[in-house]
Amino acid sequence: MTLAYVWYFVVLLAIICYAMLDGFDLGVGVLHLFARNDEERRIFLNSIGPVWDGNEVWLVIVGGTLFAGFPDVFATIFSSFYIPTMILLMGLIYRAVSIEFRSKETSTRWRQNWDIIFALGSFVIAFGVGVLLGNLVDGIPLDAEYNFVGSFWTFVKPFDLLVGVMTVALFAMHGAIYLVMKTEGELHDRIRTWVPRCIASFLILYIVVTLITLYRKPYMVDNMRDHPALFLIPLGTLVSILFVPYLMSKKRDGWAFLASCLSIALLISLVAAGTFPYIVRSSIDPQNNSLLISNSSASLLTLKILMIIVAIGVPLVLAYGFYIYRVFRGKVKLDESSY
Amino acid sequence: MDPLILSRIQFAMTSMFHYLYPPLSIGISLYLVFIEGMYLKTKDPLYLQMTKFWVKVFGLTFALGVATGLVQVFNFGTNWADYSRYVGDVFGSALGAEGIFAFFLEAGFFGLVLFGWNRVSPKVHYFATICVAIGAHFSAVWIVVANSWMQTPQGFKIVGTGAKTKAVVTNFWEMIFNPSSMDRLVHVLLGCWLTGLFLIISISAFYMLKNRHRDFAKKSMKVALALSCFVLILQLISADSTARGVAQNQPSKLAAMEGVYQTKKSTPMTLIGWVDRKSETVKGIKIPGLLSFFVYRNFTTPVEGFDNIPKDERPPIQPVFQAYHMMIYMWSAMVLGAFVGFFLLWRKKLEKSKWVLRFLIISVIFPQVANMSGWMTAEIGRQPWVVWKLLRTANGVSPNLVNSQVLGSLIMLFSIYVSLLLTFLFLLDRKIKQGPEEQKEVPLAYSKKLGAKG
């Protein structure tokens, strides 16, 4: 079923879009408490104000494309990751409402509380997404019916936590670059100094994670050994990351942001290149109990319907997505309709 | 309690909390299209003031709808894995379409509506408002279609055996236009419009009673009352059509709704009553033959009762019966409020009729209760099936759930939802008391463009 493989790339693309877009507003959230006063925090919030909910829809798309194209994967992942999913959902709920609620009241305590909830929610989501990714690389204990037979502690192995922290650093970097684009004056200069620190922390974590993967999870390089061209992906990731500080130093902030987007896209492709054609790897019996593209996809007709929906829908989504980003380009200015 | 019952409680709970918000968003979005259109047409700043006020309220309901809606999507995977495996092929495509066609439209353009006043021309802003409304309505379309497929499945075949059994689409359009989807979609959307309209009526009545924002209140009241009288009549027609569909497609649900135990000629309709499960009768006020008339358009043809339905395929009768009747009472209360209010407004007596205004203030909860009880009727009435005659609810639950985990998530979600609801009500209350900002002057950039282009 070649269409199932095509759909796999559609889901992958949805994940990449989610990470590139929600990545920066989650990053802004992670950095939120580092802003010094109410006005700065309002600038942070309003920099993502018009776009964050659209960005978050990509997560629904990831869920939807997975549910539709790979029902077994959807069912297995979320019933296995029961507690992590619930924690993630808690983060998503609180983050969504804190943006809307925060500036509705003027009292300092009200705003401080929602500030903390917003930052914490953003952190939990970024971290949780990373832990999920780590577990998909690791594999989880699945029996022959693709049911999970582990416990909560299965998910919190040191490797997964490390990937979680790395994701937070990555999104913080991404968010900081975005904020540099959206701010001006003293705040702008200050945020500019955050970027190198974020990049450095991410790079260190990335190297450690890569080394552990190479050493402990040799199956992740099987595909690359068979198709050496795939080595371009990790190489590209490293190059694009290193381009970020270079472009920042040249004050080409927009290009730096694009480089950051590219490195996120490549990083996710790297995970896919390592795990392909596995979607959920069974750590008990990878040969027989894993969910692969070929044994978990929906029927051919459904995949065809989905392709039509995507062929009509995605160009529209991209068109007005670009338009809205264009309308709100430039520095944030607070006015009476701001948060 | 086992994971099954806890998962059912959790899904019912999260659905009900979620469903407080989208109907408000859908109703208000349509109202926004109307009043912003009126502003562009008449240039009366009062309409702009109304639009800006309702955009803010929409923002609140929308954020809560998104936040609670995410839980709904992932709940299918976490607690209903076998259900997801079974229906994924059918249900998933509808859900995917919802995401791509509805959510992006709504979320994307809402940013423009909320923050775009000074950045785009009035016509573009209005276009964005229309897109938000379309998106909000689309989201209802796909989810109701998916749910209707669970009530009256069509356009599929069953493949596989044992744990690997699943439904697979054979005809997309048959699946979309299954026997109940159009009836139920209309019924749901009308319910959403009423929810929005009665919020507007309630707030306007409050301002009238307090003698504040008089022009704003009177204008809002007039529009909302007129529209709701019209929608309430449409809802009656839709309800009749929906119920006759239920009689045809899901007789056990209709039997539970009307408390019919014995199949007999001239089936009566109970106006108000209590089901006595021991004696298998319903005690209350009955009108002979009325149910036969509603279903078959004559007073004699018997309506199928529980005696024709195997014991293990009957839904719990009492909650379905009471929820269904509650929905009808709520409709009646709305009719009373809307028509009396409209009559008094027409005779220019409404502002002085304090008791009617008080009734209209509390009327905001009628459509909400009607929505809740309507969905309870639909979903409890479908039991013991999660997909009609194909999959029992008990067989849809995730096999690997741990009791303590589900209990934990249930308590967590419940506390979050209660706190969110309280915060929502607090902020809405504040927003209402604060009232619309007097629009002495139209924002400069906006008016310039309006002058230049309008």
Q: Is A67 on the interface with B (CB under 8 A)?
A: yes
Note the Cα B452 to chain centre separation in Å. 41
In angstroms, the CA B394 to CA B162 distance is: 15
Any idea which of A104-108, B159-163, B176-180 has the lowest mean pLDDT? B159-163
Q: If 0-12 CB within 10 Å is exposed, 13-18 middle and 19+ buried, where does residue B452 land? A: exposed
Q: What is the pLDDT of residue B374?
A: 95
Residue A338, phi-psi category: left (phi > 0), alpha (psi -120 to 50), beta (remainder)? beta
Answer whether B73 sits within 8 Å of A67, measured CB to CB: yes
- B98-111 pLDDT, tens digit each: 888 888 888 888 98
B9: number of CA atoms within 13 Å, CB side?
A: 15
- B370-396 pLDDT, tens digit each: 999 999 999 999 989 999 988 999 989
Report percent pLDDT > 70 for chain A.
100
Q: Is A197 helix (H, G, I), strand (E, B) or coil?
A: helix
pLDDT range class, residue B443, cuts 50, 70, 90? low
Which residues are CB-neighbours of A311 under 8 A, at least 6 positions away?
A: none
Answer whether A54 sits within 8 Å of B104, measured CB to CB: yes
Higher-pLDDT residue of B208, B160: B208
pLDDT range class, residue B452, cuts 50, 70, 90? very low
Average pLDDT for residues B211-216, to the nearest whole number? 85
Answer whether A96 sits within 8 Å of B79, measured CB to CB: no
Residue of B nearest to A148 (CA): B400
What burial letters (b/e) apply to B385-422, b meaning 16+ CB within 10 Å?
Answer: bbbbebbebebbbbbbbeeebbeebbeebeebbeebee
ipTM for the whole complex: 0.85
- Which residues on chain B are in Cβ contact (under 8 Å) with A124? none
Q: What is the pLDDT of residue A191?
A: 92
Answer whether B401 sits within 8 Å of A82, measured CB to CB: yes
CATH number given to A2-327: 1.20.1630.10
Q: Is B160 on the interface with A (CB under 8 A)?
A: no
Answer whether B99 sits within 8 Å of A67, measured CB to CB: no
What burial letters (b/e) apply to A24-37, b meaning 16+ CB within 10 Å?
Answer: bbbbbbbbbbebee
Q: Is B65 helix (H, G, I), strand (E, B) or coil?
A: helix
Dihedral pair phi/psi, residue B391, rounded to 5°: -135, 125
Checking if the pLDDT of A228 tops 80, the result is yes
Checking if the pLDDT of B286 tops 90, the result is no
- A151-160 pLDDT, tens digit each: 888 888 899 9
In angstroms, the CA A298 to CA A301 distance is: 8
β-strand pairing of A291-292 with A278-280? antiparallel
Q: Is A321 on the interface with B (CB under 8 A)?
A: yes
pLDDT range class, residue B362, cuts 50, 70, 90? very high
Averaged pLDDT score across all residues of chain A: 89
Nearest CB among A63, A79, A324 relative to B112 is that of A324
B 404-423 → A contacts, CB under 8 A: 405-406, 408-409, 412-413, 416, 420, 423
Domain boundaries along the sequence of chain B? 3-263+304-453
Nearest CB among A83, A89, A105 relative to B70 is that of A89
Answer whether A85 sits within 8 Å of B79, measured CB to CB: no
Based on its alpha-carbon atoms, the radius of gyration of chain B, rounded to whole angstroms, reads 24
Q: What is the pLDDT of residue A161?
A: 93
pLDDT range class, residue B451, cuts 50, 70, 90? very low
H or E element: which one contains A260? helix A253-275
Checking if the pLDDT of B439 tops 80, the result is no
Which has the closest alpha carbon to A91: A132, A141, A51, A61? A132
Nearest CB among B99, B163, B172 relative to A61 is that of B99
Q: What is the pLDDT of residue B454?
A: 34
Average pLDDT for residues B137-158, to the nearest whole number? 91
Which has the closest alpha carbon to B208: B225, B232, B192, B191? B225
Say how many Å lie between the first and final Cα of chain A, rounded: 49
In angstroms, the CA B53 to CA A238 distance is: 49
H or E element: which one contains A288? helix A286-289
Report percent pLDDT > 70 for chain B.
96
pLDDT range class, residue B304, cuts 50, 70, 90? confident
Checking if the pLDDT of B438 tops 70, the result is no
Provide the number of CB pairs (under 8 Å) joining chain A to chain B. Answer: 237
In angstroms, the CA B86 to CA B158 distance is: 9
Average pLDDT for residues B353-368, to the nearest whole number? 93
Sequential DSSP letters for B363-397:
TTHHHHHHHHHHHHHHHHTTTTEEETTTEEGGGTS
If one counts every other C-beta atom within 10 angstroms of the C-beta of residue A227, the result is 10
Q: Is A313 on the interface with B (CB under 8 A)?
A: yes
Nearest CB among A53, A68, A310 relative to B110 is that of A53
A 164-203 → B contacts, CB under 8 A: none
Answer whether A337 sits within 8 Å of B97, measured CB to CB: no
Nearest CB among B103, B400, B420 relative to A57 is that of B103
Sequential DSSP letters for A122-188:
HHHHHHHHHHHHHHHHH-B-B-TTS-B---GGGGG-HHHHHHHHHHHHHHHHHHHHHHHHH--HHHH
Which has the closest alpha carbon to A181: A251, A134, A108? A251
- State the angle between helix axes of B45-79 and A52-69 in degrees (0 to 180), rounded to the nearest 10: 40
A 129-148 → B contacts, CB under 8 A: 145, 147-148
